[in-house]
Amino acid sequence: MGKTPYILFPFILAYIFGYYLWLTLFQNNEYFKMVASFFSIGAPLLGAICLYMAFYKSNGHNKLFWFFLFAGAQSYLIAQLTWFYNELFLKKEVIFPSWSDLFYLLAMLFQLIAVLIKVNQNKRNTNFIRFVFDILIIMTVAITLSWYFIIQPVLEREGILSIFVLVYVGYPILDLLLLSIMTSLIFSSKFSSVLPSKILFLILLAFGVLILADTAYMIEVTLNTYSSGNLIDPLWALTYLLLGSASFLFVIEKEADGSMNSTDSETIKFEYISFRRILPYLAVIMLLSIQLVHNNMNSLSVGFSVAIILIIIRQLVILWENDSLVKKLNKSNVVLEEKVLLRTAELTAKNEELGRMVNHIEHMANYDALCDIPNRRYFEAKLNQLLDKARSEDSSLALLFFDLDRFKSINDTYGHSVADLLLKEIGERLKVFAKEQYFISRLGGDEFTVLIEDAEDKKELARIAEELQHSLAKPFYKEDTQIGFSISIGIARFPSDASNAEQLLQHADTAMYQAKESGRNNYQLFRAEYTQN
């Protein structure tokens, strides 16, 4: 977002300071009203430009929101232009009410609609009905007090025109509506998330300044002391500079982030949410107190007021108890969530341990304990699986079955421990030979197998058998003793030599014994005549 937003606030301060400086030091200057009009018109013009940019860049509810704020700035700008046209060019004194007041009221109406759009955006919230009632209570108290102290005394004067009454009442009514909604918005945890915090703060501050300016203006109108170039005027300029700054920040953040919606994580969060709950009750108590002071107090009115106040206090106590229960419930939920997380972690650890145990048991069931290669059980399952695959794909499968020549002599000469070390070494060499290309296994004793898929060609099988012999031909050393050994290999193929697993294994075993009879340390492919002999 850069340093651009930080330039806005010094500019606003300089603008308002310059405006006040001109109003206080140059009242006798012949260009006093003209320069003051530039200040007064420039602020809503700049604000309208920025608000239009926000309207153009936004979408959905935000687009309507910025549109009505832009329409409000436009209406205010038209009102100012009308005022100064009459004052500077027609040289006429602008008397309240005038055509300018119509556009001032329209500006306030548009701004009120914009705020209501944001409230409506959150109407599905469960607190919406209570929010509306809070607004109605605050508005009722504010209108009652305004009517009693400000509006009614003016209306009681003789010779008051109906248009005067309409305009005079319009300002405080719209201001009070805006004030009521703003008050509830400020202290609402749900509705404070309608816009990012900086933007919402600037908008609420602008409306606060607007209400302050309108209130001061109505007092001056009532006293018949207002004139153009009043010290109130810069407050209206400040309102539209703040609204323009809010819309400008919206445009910058939208361009920086690519999108912006009401669920921005950086929102205003007020800690004293309970103040919003008691605010309507405080307003009612204030109204009752003023009613008692300004009316003839009798036992009936005093008793009625005390009863109402006691009911309100009782309701506040109930709210406090509810808050305490909610806090306890939230605390219990936190404790429960911690226990659930702890239990989940324990179950996860146990499941992982169980998974490791299952994998270990499965490994023990399918792998030879000595050589750490697949055992007979795994071999038989794999053989049937590959045979089914070969049948379905109309392909072939070859089985190389071998054992060690004169292994019994090695076992008797060097002992079982040395023989086991030799078998373990053969298992390691088979892993290097097979890699992930062939399936190897130990059936038991010194018997091993190699399964080869898509190997029907006899020359290819002969090459693989020779490669296997070469892989295992390296002598085995036990300390300083060299133990030489060789292997005899029998080869059978599916479907050429066998039609099922049992037959394939039997024919490969037959071919292996034929290799032994042929002088050992060689390989033989199965032939039909081997079974006849």
In a domain, 188, yes or no: yes
Output the pLDDT for position 79.
Answer: 83
pLDDT over 90 (residue 197): no
Residues 176 and 252 in one domain: yes
Contact 180, 138 (CB under 8 A): yes
| Domain co-membership, 357 together with 395 | no
> 45 and 129 in one domain?
yes
Kindly state the percentage of the chain with pLDDT values over 90.
19
**Mean pLDDT of the 227-252 span:** 85
Q: Check residues 482 and 531 and name the one with the higher pLDDT.
A: 482
In a domain, 116, yes or no: yes
Token representation of residue 352: 């992982």
Which of 60-64, 198-202, 296-300, 486-490 is predicted least confidently?
296-300
Q: Taking a C-beta distance cutoff of 8 angstroms, is the pair 405, 485 a contact?
A: yes
Mean pLDDT of 332-343: 90
Identify the active-site residue in 101, 134, 368, 446: 446
Domain final position from 366, 391, 408: 366
Pair (254, 116) in one structural domain: yes
Statement: residue 377 has pLDDT above 90: yes
The verdict on 316 and 436 lying in the same domain is no
Pairing of strands 523-525, 447-453: unpaired
Q: Positive or negative CA dihedral for 11, 12, 15, 18?
A: negative
Give me the mean pLDDT over the 30-41 stretch: 72
264 is catalytic: no
The verdict on residue 260 lying in a domain is: yes
Q: What is the span of the domain harbouring residue 321?
A: 304-366
Residues 6 or more apart whose Cβ sits within 8 Å of residue 187: 270, 272, 273, 275, 276, 279
What is residue 190's DSSP assignment? Answer: T
Q: Are residues 415 and 501 in the same domain?
A: yes
Report the predicted TM-score, pTM, of the whole model to 2 decimal places.
0.48
Please check whether residue 395 is in contact with residue 453, taking contact to mean a CB–CB distance below 8 angstroms. yes
For the segment 235-259, the average pLDDT, to the nearest whole number, is: 81
3-state secondary structure of 56: helix
Dig out the tokens for 387 from the structure: 């045979």
If asked whether residues 176 and 277 sit together in one domain, one would say yes
- The side-by-side arrangement of strands in the sheet containing 447-453 is 439-444, 447-453, 397-404, 487-494, 523-525
Looking at the fold, whether 403 and 516 belong to one and the same domain comes out as yes
Phi, psi of 374 (to 5 degrees): -50, 145
How many structural domains are present in the chain? Answer: 3
In this structure, the answer to whether residues 361 and 382 fall within a common structural domain is no
Domain assignment present for residue 371? The answer is no
CB 455 within 8 A of CB 387: no
Tokens coding 102: 């119509």
Lowest mean pLDDT among 54-68, 239-253, 386-400, 465-479: 54-68
As a whole number of angstroms, the distance between CA 207 and CA 276 comes to: 19
Look at residue 14 in the predicted model and tell me its pLDDT. 87
